[in-house]
Structure 1
Amino acid sequence: MKIGILITGHVHESLIGDFGEYDGMFERLLAGHGFTFESYAVVDGVFPENVHACDGWIITGSKHGAYEDHPWIPPLEAFIRDVARAHVPMIGICFGHQIIAQAMGGTVEKFSGGWAVGPQSYDIDGENMMLNAWHQDQVTQLPPDTQVIGANAFCSNAALLIGDSILTIQPHPEFNREFTQGLLTYRGPGSVPQDQLDKAQEALSTPTDSARFADRMARFFKEHSK
Structure 2
Amino acid sequence: MVAVAEAAVTTTMTTTGGRYALLMAAHDSEYVLNKYGGYLHVFVAAFGDAGETWDLYRAIDSELPGPGELEAYDGFVISGSPHDAYADELWILRLCLLVRALHGMRKRVLGVCFGHQVICRALGGRVGKARAGWDVGVREVAIAEAPPRRFLDALRERDQLPLRARITEVHQDEVWEVPEGAEVLASSDKTGVEMFCVGEHVLGIQGHPEYTKDIFLSLVDRLLAAGSITIPFAEAVNRQLETTAPDREFWLMLCKSFLKAREE
TM-score (normalizing by structure 2) = 0.80
Match of 1:195 in 2: 232
Q: Following TM superposition, by how much is the alpha carbon of 1:74 offset from its aligned partner in structure 2, in angstroms?
A: 1.3
Q: Tell me the amino acid that sits aligned with residue 196 of structure 1.
A: F
Q: 2:248 is aligned with what amino acid?
A: S
Structure whose CA Rg is larger = 2
- Is 1:27–2:44 an aligned residue pair? yes
Amino acid aligned to 2:53:
T
Match of 1:115 in 2: 134
Map of 1:142 onto structure 2: 178
Counterpart-to-counterpart distance in 1, 2:177 and 2:124: 9
Indicate conservation of the 8 Å contact 2:78/2:112, yes or no: yes
- Residue of structure 2 in register with 1:180 after alignment: 216
Q: Give every structure 1 segment of 4 or more consecutive aligned residues whose post-TM-superposition deviation is greater than 6 Å.
A: none
Counterpart in 2 of 1:170? Answer: 206
Q: Percent identity?
A: 28
* Runs of 5+ unmatched residues, structure 1: none
Query: What corresponds to 2:124 in structure 1?
Result: 105
1:55–1:225 CA contact under 8 A, matched in 2: no
> Are residue 60 (structure 1) and residue 79 (structure 2) matched?
yes
Measured on the aligned residues, the alpha-carbon RMSD in Å equals: 1.8
Assess, with a 3 A threshold, how the Cα gap between structure 1 residues 196 and 58 changes in structure 2: closer, same or farther. Answer: same
CA offset digits 1:170-219 (Å, max 9, x no partner): 00011111011111112234102433322211112422222211111111
Q: Does residue 48 in structure 1 map to residue 79 in structure 2?
A: no
CA distance in 2, matches of 1:148, 1:33: 31
Listed as ranges, the gaps of 5+ residues in structure 2 are: 1-17, 145-161
Q: Give the corresponding residue for 1:153.
A: 189
CA contact (8 A) 1:19 1:179 kept: no
Structure number with higher helix proportion? 2
How many residues of Structure 1 are paired with residues of Structure 2 in the alignment? Answer: 226
Moved more, 34-43 or 135-144: 34-43
- Find the aligned partners of 1:104 and 1:86 in 2 and give their Cα distance: 13
How many angstroms does 1:54 deviate by? 1.2
1:124 has 2:143 as partner: yes
Q: 1:205-216 residue pairs with structure 2 within 5 A?
A: 205=242, 206-216=244-254
The residue that corresponds to 2:149 in the other structure is none
How far has the Cα of 1:117 moved from its partner? 0.7
